[in-house]
Structure 1
Amino acid sequence: MSPCSKLRRLTCGDDDAGDGKMFPNWASLHQDLVELIGCRVLAGDLHDYVPFRAVCSHWSASTARPRGRGVLDPRFHPRRWMMLPEGHGLHPGHPDLRGFVRFFNLDTGAFARAHLPLLADHVVVDVVDGLLVLHRNDDTAIRLLHPFSGDVAEFLPLASLLPQMEPQPSYYSERTKRSMLMRVRASVTVTSSGAITPRKLYAYQLSSFDIGKVYIYQLDPPCADAGDGQPRLPLPVKIAECPKDKLCFILHFVECCSELLLVSYNDVSFSKLLVYRVADLVSGKIEPVTDIGDHTLFIGDRSLCVSLSPNKGSRTSGFPSMSPNSIICMHNLTDPYSEMFYRFEQYDLSTGIWTPASDGDVFRRPPPSPHRLIHHIFTSCHYDYW
């Protein structure tokens, strides 16, 4: 895709250069062809699609406008964009940021900045498909915000879920219960009619020591009850089980290349990490994955996958501090004489070797300055840093 200024020149169909050569009149492309090209551009990234529509009025009129569809049309979801904390205590919504927030593309390494006034009185509960799940401080209203188009979808207040929580100890205050609900992981899907519903979720459960198994459950979206038509949450369905010695200490689920993976320690020594495909576990195949290609997995409260493929026009990755086919997390140590029981480390799936992911103590205090990109991504996975 050429720069916008050049594309605008190509739409004139005149001899602008004065050398007798006529440029094709791109503005005369048939509407169906422009729409087809636009769909292919949009399949790559939303930030390529916006300048594509800005080439000329014909191209703009022939393609779908993102604003107003940002939430309701999954094509416009900024899936590979993540929000970055600024560091130095400047969390998203901090007054010194004046409503601006930085975003980072996990595939290309590109940065973008968006103005989000809603963060003045909202906090970010989760991020799903690049959309921000917001909680309003005053009335616990839940909103789904597209950070680039500004589109918002409204949901019921979080307080409406409090009566549905299982009985908690009497000393749990309402504030404590709300805090527990705010640590939920969101997952949504949008139907062709524009309805936004929860998507399938997955959870694991460790059995008692005498049984020694790990169970994986699938949680389906709510469905309408045949009696009163009110939504009902179906019971979890067990989809897989495997011996506990294969999944000794589970860390997290993470999506990588459209596959759901499960990351776990291999034994109580916490010396080795294993990665399993959930689809393999469902089929009864309990074989760990040893190669995730040019990707790095970040494991925390949230987990995500970063692509380390070379940038366009370059043979090198834009992330020199990260290694492909590796996992970055707080490594659980068992040495009681060590200074810390957790270290910020990187695990190489090919060699099985742990190496420090950065200098300094990331576990007990904020990352040391100057902050590298690896720190920003890691702290984005841990809400305590926010």
Structure 2
Amino acid sequence: MDDASRWACLFPDLVRLIGWRVLAGDLLDYVRFRAVCPLWRSSTVCPLGRGLVDERFHPRLWVLLPEGRALFPGHSELRGYVRFFNLSTGLSVRARLPLFEDHRILDSVDGLVLLLQERDGAVRLLHPFTGDIAELPPLSTLVSDVAAKSKLSSIWDLSDFRKISATSVSVSSDGLITVMILLSMICHVAFATTSGGSDRQWTVSSWSLSPMWRSVSFQGRLYILQRSCYNSDPQILQIDPPHHNKEILSPPKLIATCPGKIQPPYHLIQCDSDVLAIGCSDKPNSLHLLVYRLADLILNKFTPVESIGGNVLFANIDRSLSVSARALPTIVGDTIVKLKPRDIHLGEYHLKGGTWLRTTDESTCGLEPSHSNLIHRIFWCHHNR
């Protein structure tokens, strides 16, 4: 028996176990694994139809990436084609998704895409690689709920409800999907579920957030870094999805307070299995950045980290990302890419040495750059959604 035959004769339980290990790395690797032979395909779970309700199949390592010439996903010139970028390997794939021809992107999280059909206001959650779609209540129900709860609703335009700072997706044991969105303009959080019924609607929180905040989605929750006033220490809040059959969002929980020596601009970034808080040093005329692990702050440990696992952090005002240095051959690991303080260019801050380098000669003043540079495309990938 040759080697190929031996691999094809593995016990189904062993094939299934190996398949789960492969899936823990990347969904597309799992798809390739299942395509090796009929036995491997029959011994493993097919992701089609389960891409949304089984969180193991969420393509967390993939993000939407603008094309050249600042063509963002959904642009009419792209004719429904979308490019995805793997944050671990740097692999780029281009696929045609018909929904992008008549839908607008509201946000993306864990590789999933939240879409709005502008014609009728329908909101859909799309798994771009399996094609699975979850129907959510129309956006108009969110507008109605805000109008019923807020005296200031008359000052907001419909477009204000399309501006989302962060989205979280969680799935219950019975397959119910809950989506929470942080509305940038009105500083409220709203949620909706995929449950059926004629009373399906988006529900907005009865509480609001301070206007001075940064956000990140992590493991189905929203995390907020905010200052209640200018001179106060920044606080980190956790927002949990509502419990099953609950119709309201519980107020945010204060889980950590950052030390006063971290100054704005702030950023919250998911990096591997951690959430990181980034800010500037409070020393006069200092250009140094400070990075703290949320897990440390919760334990009142205020020592900045000196390594971020060899990753590269893209700290943008709109959204921040962590990318493996393997995917970016021109940048060394343990680097933060952001606008250099008191400058108009992107810079690379090397965490271990505390030094800055200019990433590119292109200025970020005015319109965003042409996106011909991969670094710029990643940095601006959530801009102009």
Note if 1:205 corresponds to 2:231: no
Unaligned 5+ segments in structure 2 are 180-219
Moved more, 62-71 or 184-193: 184-193
Quote the Cα distance in structure 2 between the aligned partners of 1:147 and 1:164: 30
Q: Residues of 2 paired with 1:159 and 1:269: CA distance? A: 48
- Identity of matched residues, %: 43
The answer to whether the 8 A contact 2:225-2:268 is kept is: no
1:158-198 superposed Cα distances (whole Å, 9 cap, x missing partner): 2222244464657624324324xx32310112233212225
Higher strand share goes to which structure?
Answer: 2
Distance 1:33 1:257, change over 3 A: same
Of residues 341, 344, 347 in structure 2, which corresponds to 1:342? 344
**Mean Cα displacement is larger for which, 198-207 or 103-112?**
198-207
Q: Shift of the alpha carbon at 1:90?
A: 2.2
- Once the two structures are superposed, residues 105-136 of structure 1 have per-residue CA deviations (whole angstroms, 9 ceiling, x without a partner) of 11111121222111112122222111111122
The separation in 2 between residues aligned to 1:111 and 1:33, in whole angstroms, is 31
Partner of 2:211: none
Q: In structure 2, what is the equivalent of residue 322 of structure 1?
A: 331
- The Cα of 1:303 is off from its aligned counterpart by 0.9
Q: CA RMSD in A?
A: 2.3
- Look up the match of 1:285: 301
Instruction: Give the Å deviation of 1:325.
Output: 0.7
The equivalent of 2:186 in structure 1 is none
Q: 1:178 aligns with which of 149, 152, 161?
A: 161
Alignment CA distance shift 1:279-1:205 (3 Å): same
* Alpha-carbon distance, 1:25 to partner: 4.7
Cα distance between partner residues in 2 of 1:100 and 1:157: 25
Superposition pairs of residues 39-118 of structure 1, within 5 angstroms: 39-118=20-99
Normalised to the residue count of structure 1, the TM-score between the two structures is 0.81
Matched, 1:375 2:350: no
CA contact (8 A) 2:115 2:124 kept: yes
Counterpart Cα distance in 2 of 1:23 and 1:65: 23
- Say whether the 8 Å CA contact 1:159–1:178 is kept in structure 2: no
Judged with a 3 Å threshold, the aligned counterparts in structure 2 of structure 1 residues 209 and 29 are, in CA distance, closer, same or farther, namely closer
* Greater RCO structure (CA 8 Å; 6+ sep): 2
Aligned partner of 2:38: which letter?
S
Q: How many aligned positions are there?
A: 341
* Residue 91 to residue 177, structure 1, CA distance change in 2 (3 Å): closer
Tell whether the 8 Å contact from 2:236 to 2:254 is kept in structure 1 after alignment. Answer: yes
| Contact map agreement 1:73 1:194 (CA 8 A) in 2 | yes
For residues 157 and 218 of structure 1, the distance between their equivalents in structure 2, rounded to whole angstroms, comes to 26
Deviation digits for residues 56-114 of structure 1 (CA, Å, limit 9, x no counterpart): 22221111111111111112111111111102142212233232111111111112122
Partner of 2:216: none
* Corresponding residue for residue 138 of structure 2: 157
Distance 1:120 1:242 in 2: 44
Q: 1:352 aligns with which of 354, 361, 365?
A: 354
Query: Where does structure 1 lack aligned partners over 5 or more consecutive residues?
Result: 1-12, 14-20, 310-317, 334-340
Give the TM-score of the pair, scaled to structure 2. Answer: 0.81
